[in-house]
Amino acid sequence: MRRRLIGWFLLLPLSLVLIVFALANRQTITLNFDPTSETSPLIPPVHVPLFLLIYVLLIAGILLGGVATWFTQGKQRREKRHWRKHAARLEKEAAANSNQPSGSLQLANDR
pTM above 0.85, yes or no: no
How do the domains of the chain map onto residue ranges? Answer: 16-99
The tens place of each residue's pLDDT in the chain, 111 residues long, gives 888 888 888 888 988 998 898 888 889 998 888 777 777 777 888 899 998 998 899 999 999 999 999 999 999 999 999 999 999 999 999 998 887 765 555 555 554
> What is the rounded CA–CA span in Å between residue 37 and residue 41?
5
